Amino acid sequence: MKKTLLITASLLLAATAQAKLPAPVLDDAAKAKAEEAKAKTAHGAKVEAYKLCMAMERSAAHYFKTSAAGGKAVKPAQASPACADPGPFVWPAAPAKS
């Protein structure tokens, strides 16, 4: 019983000590690097969405082609927005300081 209380008390003390640690201070270069990483991640998500869209289009085209060849009655496809290619990742260069 005493061991359990001692362990619980020490864990609570450690958690409160850890919660009071200050947040790290970032300089301008670190902030810029973090923003670039955030933009790269967002662009990666757009690329993955584009690839998924293209795969769904190929899958639907194959389904309609094989269903028609098999003699199944297929409802017409619903209209969907075209897949938008996000293009390559481009990060704007930092302005030159005078």
Query: What pLDDT is stored for residue 55 in this prediction?
Result: 96
- From residue 24, alpha-carbon distances to 20, 30, 31, 70 in Å are 12, 11, 12, 64
Summarize pLDDT for 31-46 with one digit per residue, the tens: 999 999 999 999 999 9
- pLDDT score, position 18: 63
Burial call 28-63: b when 16+ CB within 10 Å, e when fewer = eeeeeeeeeeeeeeebeeeeeeeeebeeeeeeeeee
* Tokens (6 digits) for 88: 């390559």
Q: Could you report the per-residue pLDDT of 44-97, keeping only the tens digit for each?
A: 999 999 999 999 999 999 998 998 888 888 888 788 889 999 999 998 865 555
pLDDT band at 5 (very low <50, low <70, confident <90, very high): confident
